[in-house]
Structure 1
C-alpha cells in the first residue's frame, strides 16, 4: 500500500513538472508576442493605450496583412506529456489534439500566474480584457484567425463539448470572444481530486464505510466497461443501487452516485455538462436511481434523461429502477440485467450492517451469521418490509437516534416506527392513512375467522420466500402481492381486523376512499386506480378497499356503452390485482355481488358472521373497557342475550352510554346503557320490542 502511494505521488510530481514546463513554453510565446507588438507600435509607452484609437493606428491596422502571424515560430515544439500524467490522461480521455492542449494551456495561464492577466490585457489592446480571446489564443499558437484553428472552438469540438473550455460574450464576433477554463479543470491538472463544487448536494462518491473496495459484481461490471457503458438494472426487490456501486469499484472506477430528486430540480444544461466533465476527469462511473423517482414517463424528464445518456457516452452509466427501459430514453439501448429480490437472510444482513454502522457483503455470505447477527426479534420485525439500501440506512438511523434519546438500546418497535416514517406521502394523498392502534386481543371473532386472519399475516410475512425464492407463482406477469377478502355484514369487524393485520405486520393501513376513485368520465376510474396501485407498491402498508363490490362487481351482458365501459373497468381490475406486489384487503357486505373471477385471484377469504351471545358478551365488556366506572346494576349478560347487535353497533352503544354517564358524573348505569341501545335501534330502523327490552322498556318511557 505504501509503495502505491509513493508511486502515485511520484507520478503527480512528474505531471506537475511537465505542466510548469508547458506554461513556461506559453510564457515564451507571450513574451515574443509582446516584443513583436512593441516593435510595430509607434508609441508603446502610451499610458492610455487601449482606451482610444488614433488615425495613425487606424492606418496601421488597415496596412496589416491578413496573413498568419506566428510569434511562436522558432521557439521549438512543446514537450510531450509524460506517460501516466494528468495531462496525458486528459488528452486521451477527451480526444484532444496537440493544438487543443496548447489552446487550453494558453487559456488556463491566468488562473495559475497573475502576470498573464496584464500581459493578455496588453496584447488584447484592452486592459479590461485580462483573459485571452479566441483570436489571441490562435495567434499565440501561430495560427491565422481565418484558418482551420477557429473550428477548434465549435460546439462539437472536444474542448467545448467536453466542458474544458468556455467562451464568454457570445454576442461578440468569434475571434473577439473571451476564453475561460473552469476552475475544476485547473484544479484537476494541479492535482486536486475534490468534486466539482457545481455538483455539491447532487452527487456523492459511493464507497464502503471502512474504505475497503467491495466485492465486484462481474457481470454488471463487464457490461458497464464495454462499449457505450450504459447498463439498466431492472430491480425486482434486490439491492440494485449497492450492486451498481460494487460493479464500478470492481472495474476500477470511482462511483458517482447521482441524487435523482436533486438532479430533476436543477438546471439541466449546466448540471449534465458538469457531471460528464467530472466523470471523465476523475475516471469515474455514474450511478443513477431509482429511476422511478425521476418519472421518465413525463416528456420533460425523458428529455433530461436522454441528454444525460448522450453527454455520458463512453462513460460507464448504471441506471437502476423497477420500470422497464424505454428506448426513447437514450440514443443507445442499454444492457438490461435483472436484479432478483434479496433472500430473508440477505435482508437481515442488510439491516444488521445498517444498525451496526458497517457495510458488508451483499451476496449472501456474512461474517456475522445472518439472522443471528440481527437477533430473532429484530429479524422478525423487518421480515415483511421491502426497502432499498438507502431506506434501510435511514430507518436504522432513525431507530438508533430514537433509542439514544431515551438512553436505551433500539427495539423492534423502534425499527417498525422508523420504517413507517419512510413511507412517502403519495399514497396518503389518495387514501386515508391509519396508524394501527389495536391488536389481536381487541378482536372478538370466531376461531375460524381468527385463523384466516393469522393466515393472511403469515402469507404477507413469508411471500418473498414462497413466491420469490420458491417461485410458487411463476410467469404470466403475476406479482408477489397478497390479496384477501373480508365478507360479512356491516359492523362485524372487517375494517378493525384489517387494522390488526397491519399492526401485526408493523405497517400502516391505507383506506381507499371510493369517492376519489370512481369517475363518471370513461377511463378516469382506471387512471385513479392505477395511481393508487402504483403508489401502494412503493410503501410498506396494507391497502384496504372498503365496500369493494362497488368497483369489483360482476361483469354483465353488454346492452349499451355503459355496460361495455363497466366491463372494461372490471377487466382492468382483474389484470391489475394479479400484477399487484403489495398487500390488499377487500371488504364487502354482499359477497355474492363480487365477480367470480376476482374470487379466484384471492389468497384468503375471511367470513365475518354476526356475533353470537357469548361473543356479544365479550364485545360489551371489551367496548366499555376498564376505564369507565360501572354501576352495580349493570347487566351485560342481559344485553348480550336480548340485543342481537354486531360489534360496530355495540361499540356505538358503549360510546353513547359513556357520554350519558359523563354528563351525570356518576358510574354508568343499566338505564343509560339501555337508552343508548334504543338510540342505536332507531338509527338502524329496528323496532323497539318489549320481548327484547323487557322491564327496561317501561323505565325508558317514564324517563322520557
Structure 2
C-alpha cells in the first residue's frame, strides 16, 4: 500500500474513534436508539426530547467528541506493526499548506471524504444524521466532529463561497434547499484520489482540452519566457504573442526546462467548472506547477478573471493587447513575446537531424514557434514512416501546412497549389522576379530580423507584390506557382464578402482578413485588386471622403503586414502610387508574342493524345490567333472535349475550332473571314 494511502487511513482511524465516541454519547440518552425504524420517522418522544435540549452555551464540543486531528506533517503515529511514515506521505497536511487551510478546514475535509474511502462511515453518518438515507457528513456533523458546531460564526464562515474549502474546489455543498447545518458535504473524486497518492490528471480537465506537460528539456536562457520560469514567487502574466501559440510554446518549454510541470489549456469558451478544477489541479501538484492558457480570440476577460490566482503561476498568452479591465483585482503583468523567430530553425534541426537537403530553405516560409515546430517535425516523421521512405521536403511542407490555422476560410477561398514553375510560360524577366519573390518569403527573417534591414515605425515583415497585366496573361497562375514553391496554401479573397455598402464595414472585413493572414502561413491573393486598392481622388462628396478613408486604412495596414500577399490588376494605372511604394515587387505580365503563344499551345496540350503533324498546326494557330495564355488554355480544353466526344486524338480542326470560339467570345473578327465566326 502506498504511504499516502496509509497516512490517510491512519487519519480516518483517528476520525473513526471520534465518530464512535459521538455515537456512544448520542445513544446514551436517546430512547429511540434501539428502534429498528430510527431515522425513517420522527416520533413524538423524539420531538419532545429535541425540543427540551438546550442550545450549547460555548463553542466547545463535548470532550469525548473533540478529538485532536493533526494537520502538520510528521504528527501521525503509525500502527505499532507498521513502518514509519515520511512527512511527504501525509498529503492532507501538505494540501492544507498549499491551499491555505486552517486546522478546522482540514478536519472538516477529512470528515467529508471519509465515506469515499471507508464504507463504514456511511452507516455511522446515517445514524448520526438521524436519517438512514443521508450517508454523507452534513455541515453540522462535520463541525461537531471537529470540535465546534454551526452555532459558531467563524466555523460557519468556512463554508462561505469565498472560503478556501469551497472557493478552491475541495468541498461542494449539496441540498441547496436545506438550511446550512443540514447541507451534505461532497469531496470531488480528484481530491480523494490525490490524498490516496493518485496523481492522474483530472478527467474533467482532459475533456476540457488541458494537457499535462512533465518537467524536462534544456534549461531556459535569457528572455521573457526564462524570467517567468525562474520567478521566485507565483506570477500572473499576460504575454502578447506575435502569432498564436508562439509565446505559449516558448513559456511552456522554459517552465519545463526549469523543472516545473505545466498544465497547458486551450479553451474554446469559458467553463467556470473547468477553470476551478484547473487551479485546483495546479495546487494539488505543488507550488512549482504552472498554468499556461491560450486565450480565445473573443471576450477573454471572464476567463482571465476566473484563473488569475495569487498563489499559482498563470500565463495568459494571446495575440490581443492587454486590457486592464480583464482582471482589475489581480496584479497582472503585461509582457510582450520577444523570442527571436530564427530560433525555429534550431528546433527543426534537433527534430530532423537526418533530413537530406537544405533544411533552412525548406522551412523558411513557415513562422512556427518552437513547440509548433516539434509537432510539425513529428508529423513529418510519421508521414515519412507511413510512406516507408526517409523524410523529405513534401513531408515537411504537408505537416507544417496543417499547423497553419485555416481561419481564412470564412473570408477567402482556399486553393491547394498543384502547379510549379515548369507550368509557367513567361519571359525571363518576370520569371526571375517570381523566383525572387519566393526567395524574399524564405529569407525575410534573416534579412529583416537577423541583419536588421527592417526600418522602424512598426513595419512588419510581410512580402507584398503586384502582378499587373492583361486578362489571361497568367497572374493568378503565377501566384499559385509561388505558393506551391513555398509549400503554402493560397487564399483568394472573395471581394463580395469584403466590400460593404455601410461606412466602415469594408475596413472591418479587411482587418479580419489581414489579422488572420498575419497568423497563417499562406499566400493571400487579392484578385482584381484595383477594386479596393484604387487611387484616392479629390473630395467632392461624402462618398469620395469615405472611399479615401478606405485607401488610407489599407496604406497603414500594409505597413504592419507580416504575411505574404499578391495583388493582381488588369489596369496598373488604377492602383494608387502610395501603394506602389509599399510593394516589394511589381511584376508586369506581357501579352505573349508568337513564340510564347506556340509554347503555351504545346504546354496546354502536352498530356493530350494528338494526331501526327499537330505541332505545325499549333505554330500556325500561334501566328494567326493573338490569344493570351488563359484563352489558349480554354481553346485547348474545347479541342480536348471535341476529340473525346469522337473517341479520337486531337486534330488540327479541333484546335482551330477552339481558337475561333475564343475569338467569338471576345467579340473579335475571326482571321481570314472579316466576320465573326459561328460554328
TM-score by length of 1: 0.87
Cα gap change, 1:548 to 1:470, in 2 (>3 Å): same
Cα deviation for residue 235 of structure 1 reads 2.7
Q: Deviations over 1:439-487 (max 9, x none)?
A: 1122121221112111111100101111222232243221111000011
Shift of 1:239: 4.5
CA distance in 2, matches of 1:674, 1:253: 74
Q: Which runs of 5+ in 1 are unaligned?
A: 1-8, 356-367
Q: Which moved more, 1:333-342 or 1:477-486?
A: 333-342
> Per-residue CA shift, 1:429-448, capped at 9, x if unaligned?
32122222221122121221
Distance 1:96-1:495 versus aligned 2 partners, 3 A rule: same
Distance 2:391 2:6 in 1: 55
For residues 341 and 497 of structure 1, do their structure 2 counterparts lie closer, same or farther at Cα, with a shift above 3 Å needed? farther
CA contact (8 A) 1:510 1:542 kept: yes
Cα contact 2:468–2:586 (8 A) shared by 1: yes
Q: Who is 1:101 aligned against?
A: 106
Q: Which residue of 2 aligns with 1:4?
A: none
Once the two structures are TM-superposed, the CA of residue 221 in structure 1 deviates from its matched residue by: 5.2
More helix by percentage: 1
Q: 2:72 aligns with which of 51, 73, 81?
A: 81
CA distance in 2, matches of 1:449, 1:515: 30
2:48 is equivalent to residue 66 of structure 1: no
1:289-308 equivalent positions in 2, closer than 5 A: 289-291=293-295, 294-295=296-297, 297-298=298-299, 301-308=300-307
Q: Tell me if the contact between 1:220 and 1:231 (Cα under 8 Å) persists in the aligned partners.
A: no
Residue 665 and residue 31 in structure 1: after superposition, are their counterparts in 2 closer, same or farther (change >3 A)?
closer
Shift of residue 595, structure 1, vs aligned partner = 0.8
Aligned residues between the structures: 655
Which one of 161, 172, 179 corresponds to residue 173 of structure 1? 179
Q: Would the aligned equivalents of 2:21 and 2:64 in 1 still touch at CA under 8 Å? A: no
Aligned residue number for residue 337 of structure 2: 339
Q: Give the match for residue 412 of structure 2.
A: 431
Alignment map for 1:197-346 (pairs within 5 Å): 197-201=203-207, 202-207=209-214, 212-217=216-221, 220=225, 222-223=227-228, 225=231, 229-236=235-242, 239-250=246-257, 252-261=259-268, 264=269, 268-283=271-286, 284-291=288-295, 294-295=296-297, 297-298=298-299, 301-309=300-308, 312-331=309-328, 332-340=330-338, 342=340, 344=342, 346=343
Check whether the contact 1:71–1:139 (CA below 8 A) recurs between aligned residues: no
Q: Deviations over 1:402-444 (max 9, x none)?
A: 3333322222112222333334442123212222222112212
| C-alpha RMSD of matched pairs (Å) | 2.7
Decide whether the 8 Å contact of 1:28 with 1:75 is kept in 2.
no
- Residue 34 (str. 1) matches residue 23 (str. 2): yes
SS of alignment partner, residue 421 of structure 1: helix
For 1:110 and 1:559, the matched residues in 2 are separated by 82
Partners of 2:256 and 2:487 in 1: how far apart?
Answer: 36
Which deviates more, 479-488 or 426-435?
426-435
Report Cα offsets for 1:614-673 as digits up to 9, x if no partner: 212212221222423134364233222232222122222222222233334444333332
Residues 395 and 418, structure 1, Cα contact 8 Å, conserved in 2? yes
Residue segments in structure 2 that go unaligned for 5+ positions in a row: 75-86
Q: Does 1:624 align with 2:609?
A: no
Determine helix, strand or coil for the equivalent of 1:533: helix
The residue aligned with 1:48 is 37
Supply the distance in 2 between the matched residues of 1:393 and 1:480 (Cα, whole angstroms).
Answer: 23
Which deviates more, 58-67 or 670-679? 670-679
The question of 1:587 aligning with 2:568 is answered yes
Q: CA 1:662–1:59 in 2, change beyond 3 Å: closer, same or farther?
A: closer
User: Are 1:327 and 1:333, in contact at CA under 8 Å, matched by a contact in 2?
Assistant: no
Aligned pairs for 1:297-446 within 5 A:
297-298=298-299, 301-309=300-308, 312-331=309-328, 332-340=330-338, 342=340, 344=342, 346-355=343-352, 374-446=355-427
| TM superposition score normalised by structure 2 | 0.90
Say whether the 8 Å CA contact 1:279–1:315 is kept in structure 2: yes
Q: What residue in structure 2 maps to residue 360 of structure 1? A: none
Q: How far does residue 80 in structure 1 lie from its aligned partner after superposition?
A: 5.1
